[in-house]
Amino acid sequence: MTFLRNTWYVAAWDHEVAHDALFQRTLLNESVLFFRDDAGKVQAISNRCPHRFAPLHMGKRVSNGVQCPYHGLQFDGAGTCTGNPHGDGRIPAAASVKSYPVIEKYSAIWIWMGDPAREDEASIPDFSCMDPEHAWVGKRYLHARANYVLETDNIMDLSHIQYLHPTTLGSDTVSDAITSVKQEGHTVYSNRQTVAEIMPDYLYTAMGFPHGLPVDRWVDVRWDAPANMLLDAGAVATGGARSDGRSFMLPHLFTPETDKTTHYWFAFCMPKALGEFGKQVVEEQVEGLSVPFTNEDLPMLEAQQRMMGDAEFWSLKPVLLPGDAGAIRARRVLDGLIANEQKEALQPAPAL
């Protein structure tokens, strides 16, 4: 599988890379080592020592870097070998590892897996709802044994909540929803609105509405490549204006681990201005959402992947339903971006 390279992927929640610790994660089939330098800034380098290929994360954190657990070479965050305890201590010219641009932003650590010369912080999509300065952010991580684009399909086509989450997130009204899809640049929006919906009890409790109240409910999803989505989910008493209802921001962020496994981060955010109450709600809500995501979505995604085996998605000629429009649009945008990168890679280098 070919992955988009010149883009930002989420690599971890900010708290996953602790001070004075080494953290390893496989992203796009590459084992990457994360640590914080002495100033606390996150660094990311290849986890494979260039000497005998030992995994550096099994080594030791040293000042501004890591020491290989096997023969003791040291590397800094630029991937430069900074210490050789052997012989006269000379550092062989080839003793370096790849380093990756990383940015800590919106409660997450973002990594650029492509050409470092092209990294561009401004291209990280706006997830300011997760800015830890202004928001309480309930954060969770799941690991899925399924391809990451199946995860995009899952979020961009929320018609599945009627069938997969009948007692938590869905209802019989979901399939009657008004849906729309639009694209702005490379961003795709997949919006869904139900009218006079009787929601499952879980949602009335979670949203603080009287049980049984007919509501107009919306879930608007924004997608950016490679697979970063922001859900604006809310409801209002039927006929009311959205501004009179209640809504929540729910980021869903996916990064391929391998061709058929995915890192899945999701969050629930509330403004910090709400004080301790907001913090408590965030924790309760993200825990509540973990239940259907873990017990219902995850097994379905993994079962889909097992049924697909090694086959490429389009080669199986998937039947398309109206609710697929947003997911298909996102797939087309992603495929186009990857094709462009491949085309660029084939162009001959300019003559000197």
Residue 48 interacts with ligand FES (CB under 6 A)? no
Among Fe ion, ligand FES, none, partner that 68 touches (CB below 5 to 8 angstroms by kind): ligand FES
Tokens of 195: 């009218």
**Of residues 153, 297, 324, 341, which one binds Fe ion by CB under 5 A?**
297
CA distances to 3, 19, 262 from 257, in Å: 11, 24, 5
> Considering only residues 49, 188, 203, 282, which one is a binding residue for ligand FES as defined by CB under 6 A?
49
Question: What is the per-residue binding string for ligand FES in 67-96, x denoting contact by CB under 6 A?
Answer: -x-xxxx-----------------------
CB neighbour burial string for 180-204, b if at least 16 within 10 angstroms, e if fewer: ebeeeebebbbbbebeebebbebbb
Choice between 136 and 266, CB closer to Fe ion = 266
Least spacing, CB of residue 86 vs ligand FES, in Å: 9
Q: How far is the CB of 140 from Fe ion (least distance, A)?
A: 14
Minimum distance from residue 165 beta carbon to Fe ion (Å)? 6
Closest CA to 245 of 202, 216, 271: 216
Contact status, residue 54 vs residue 80, Cβ threshold 8 Å: no
Asked if residue 52 binds ligand FES (CB under 6 A), the reply is yes
C-alpha–C-alpha distance, residues 15 and 1, integer Å: 30
Q: How far apart are CA 79 and CA 82, in angstroms?
A: 9
Residue 332 binding ligand FES, by CB under 6 A = no
Q: Which of 54, 91, 142, 274 is in the footprint of ligand FES by CB under 6 A?
A: 54
Cis peptide before 226 (omega within 30 of 0): yes
Q: Does 151 bind Fe ion (CB under 5 A)?
A: no
Interatomic CA distance for residues 272 and 111, integer angstroms:
27
User: In the complex, which residues of this chain contact ligand FES (CB under 6 A)?
Assistant: 49, 51-52, 54, 68, 70-73
User: In the complex, which residues of this chain contact Fe ion (CB under 5 A)?
Assistant: 297
